[in-house]
Structure 1
């Protein structure tokens, strides 16, 4: 077949896609139009394949206007976008010949196929160079230089050397001073020169790049700031060594803090003690320190939404450096410390707690509690991390602390400002403003209410597992799937399975629809098999359908606690135990949920449901207690819904039946709560 002698006598065309990642503009495809004579190429982005026809019409008009000529023939494959009635009608109207390739023979459209390979090779190189592999390909396609190339004064020469004739176009070598040109011969392996820049321009590492890369020098500045904190808080003092003192080591730990949108917030450097060398009873005593329950966080957000309260977030910098130590602990000098002159042979004595010590969390929480209680706050007995201060006129301030992250809300706005100022006088506190990002949970507020989601966390999880381009699933688990400990072969890397399930467990903090499926796959952590891993990937495919799905707490007054319980009778194929499921609401706001396998085998579905009702009663009692402490008295009976009438009869009737006389006594405490009017069992259809 001869090559056309004129431009636009023959146009090669092909559609590439879909891209595994959608571009910011919503495009997933692109189409190429290549002139066979000049090999000039035009590339257009597509949102769907059916957009080829209007773009081809624009292309024909552009050729006619700019080059005063027409297209005489087009060659393409048998894709539906090229053989549609509308496309063929357009070709017939313009008198353009259509050359179609044979089915399953892409080599007959080799010009367009080769151009696709050329384009995507360039795109992948740009993506790898920008450390955003598999991200937004359309941006790179339309902009070959998305950012200025950095020029280093110590690496770039000053003046070019004069070119010399060679067998190929001359190669100019840029140097500070004239240099002899490179020889016109291939370089031997290993003969190339390499230069290492003094300042790295690479971005901070992400979870997608486990290999080590050079970090920006801001981490060194962070370490200097940390040195200042140690001196400011008088955490460490230098003293002489008697030789008999036992010292522990320490190390520098560098981390990166990210914002909700994934951008870098700041670089952190910490001097961490090697607490794993501490001896129990000698170097430390009690170590327990409470942290806020995420159920308490959701309850607080629900109260703020229903009462239109503001939500504020504070962060205590270097919180563990404020804790007071009860033990005498000596530590080696930090790495990089030069023990010269008067410091030669000296060791460090810890005056206050330090990151890495076993007792540091407890020491910090004790110090924080002491300060916050001195501000007339009262600790809640139902959750020791929750504090409340109520004025005589009824206005209140509620404070919740999770290690060094603090949430403030209430209707006493001047009081909240005073609390911020008072805390700032004792600790170094950073006021983060309105609550937006807390423990990986994104908080968004509007006049309609407050939403909680883990969109960034979900996308990061899908990116790490390579599931961003997977086919979505409509349900988190196949309803006909029954997993057991013997189904499938053992996987070679159990830690990967365990880590993946652990991340899914944390995702259930805002995704109650995943709770049951994640509960099932978490039962095989000790010896995961291929069928279990397939079930986990199915959950990820379901998550892919809506990564931003979460909870929404509508504005408007809410009150009253209610709980819905259910049981999957004998659902476990391994030990035939049932699974308890429950959901607790404050008004219309979903506050807590649970899916957990029961500890014993139930003899009937009614018994399984009755045990689930007992678990729901426990959850209601705890939520009623914390609501009462916060000043929202639950005077009315809480509704406990169940879809099994016999289980409801067991809760209402204290007579022992033949089918229920073996049930443990502690399960029957629900009857006491029913008689006292705290719980009212109610039937709800399945």
Structure 2
């Protein structure tokens, strides 16, 4: 663009065609374009105004695309010279702005324990056999060694993490210099950090990417733990052992971040020995103790391998007969056999499907389950049966079952040897028939006590939702609660925690033992409340009007 100076008038000329495209005046050393005079001429239009209007208009028409995408359709839209420097759109950032990306540079500290990454995982919906629902993860930034501590409650981290700092000072002669965590209140050790001179690094709110080392480690741990669980098909209650074993293996596997060295070798400087590793969840025979064992007792017991316990040169085992966990080094493994996998291949029958229901229309045969029917008299009588006949009949039945089905006969666990279950054991020294008699009971009460255990009561919502009777009882309870305005829907305050609730199921019987109805009650978990924090007043139970009327009638009769 050229400027042609003519006294007070300044003309702007097109450098290619030599045409005048505008005129203006010099004001304070600036050339001001006179748009008004230019627009008054009908035969000449300002190309600047046309370009800006066209590009902005088409940007709105096309749904606010990026300039990069608009360049591909410039010829189709008829915009010959789109303005690259148009004013920024005020709608685009409101509709399309994203979080800034996090560039992972894999920066690592120079020394071990210069920086720790910590985070808390949980709670998990299913607690372990020991009652754990959380676990604390600690990752060293330099060596990438991982420590995991199973927790029953979150407040246990207040005790475990200071103990971990003492362990580092004692075992590795080092002091932790920095700790990175998120903004969880249970991980803010302000007084502890001040006492030990530790620098605390916290991630921004709702930005877990800034604590990416331990967050990514959680994903790695759970991936390996799921693989171990799916391979061995152990019950979900043993997820804690899967997590601990996964961390044990991860610390002993090489990683490209450490130049194909293992975290354990980087921290300790020792070479690893993989001879002691075994397949998780496989069958293992553990040698029995020689104390109290005679010559004809078994020398080994079948167990399941559950991992590598800390501080022991042995293996953690689950006894298949007693369901007890113990540690031993005298173990013979069968790494291609998984006992839990065999058990899960066979369909498990639900106890609630086996119980006949007098009030429902379905029968056990309709469910595809062959359940033996036992005819009991109305007046039950306990008789002293000859135990030798019972034993012989049981042996004959077991022999027939073995020959007919071709499968091994199942036997009860060893810890039930001291109990008489379902009166199937012979040689009873003190039979109940010699001390218990039903002769003094009425016929109706005999029928009642005989019917107490006929109708099964579910212990959880998962079991109850399988039956139409219990679903109807729960719906009836919810309708009654809504009619009585039991609750009021509101927003939960920031500093408060909601109290959970659960279903309680009960079958109501008539005096003659027949089923009256199914009763379901939705109750609050009041045991989680703390006096002075969650409640102030304590209310007494509400009595029924029938009870009040009965008391008044008795009072009137006795003056």
TM-score by length of 2: 0.38
**Which structure is richer in relative contact order (CA contacts within 8 A, separation 6 or more)?**
1
TM-score by length of 1: 0.32
Higher CA-based Rg: 2
